Amino acid sequence: MGKQQPTDGDIQDALEWARLRLTELGFFETQDGLRWAAAYGLVRSVWRNGLIEIAHASRPTSWRRTLHDGTMFARNTWLTRRAFDVLGSDDQFRLYELEDLVLDRDQVWPGCEGTLTDFGWGFLGDIKKHAKQRIDMLAHFEQSLSPDDFLVFASAPWFGARDDHCEFSPRQRCVRSSTAPLPRAPACV
């Protein structure tokens, strides 16, 4: 039997919980704080917690280059900035713009001399499938939720992030995930 679909009440309860967490973390205290949290959540959901992690952890092959931590961090940073920009767009297909960026096999990644093809060889089909499924799911919720509720929903994937994954707390990771200066980002803990 299939999974039972969440009800509107379940979704509203989850959104209330997420708003509480975002409030505790100070994201509503600064301009664009919620949008930064949502950008980080989108990247975590669509890219970071996908099949690229298996490629990242795998030994290189004659076709797949080593995906070092620094390369992965640079890519995550770049994508988070792009996700922030996408979330500021009024384009009704804006999430598919993010999908195109994530899945572009020819674009040289900022800060390195490689592409998705170079670092993801052997996992490219699964990476594509994962990203497309996540974007389609997010697009569904973007249509059914208010704009603010969608940003809260999109931010949720990083709430359970381990604080010891890198030197930053989850809020600092979200805030520092831009290569450009931020407009008065949430304070770091």
Looking at residue 175, its pLDDT comes to: 41
- Domains of the chain by residue range: 31-175
Looking at residue 92, its pLDDT comes to: 87
Looking at residue 176, its pLDDT comes to: 42
Looking at residue 183, its pLDDT comes to: 36
For residues 35 and 148, is the Cβ–Cβ distance under 8 A?
Answer: no
In single-letter form, the type of residue at position 75 comes to: R
Per-residue pLDDT of the chain (189 residues; tens, 9 = 90+): 556 666 778 888 889 999 999 999 889 998 999 999 999 999 999 998 888 988 888 888 999 999 889 899 999 999 999 999 999 999 989 999 999 999 999 999 987 889 999 999 999 999 999 999 999 999 999 999 999 999 999 998 766 554 333 333 444 434 443 333 333 333 332
Alpha carbons 69 and 83: distance in angstroms, whole number? 21
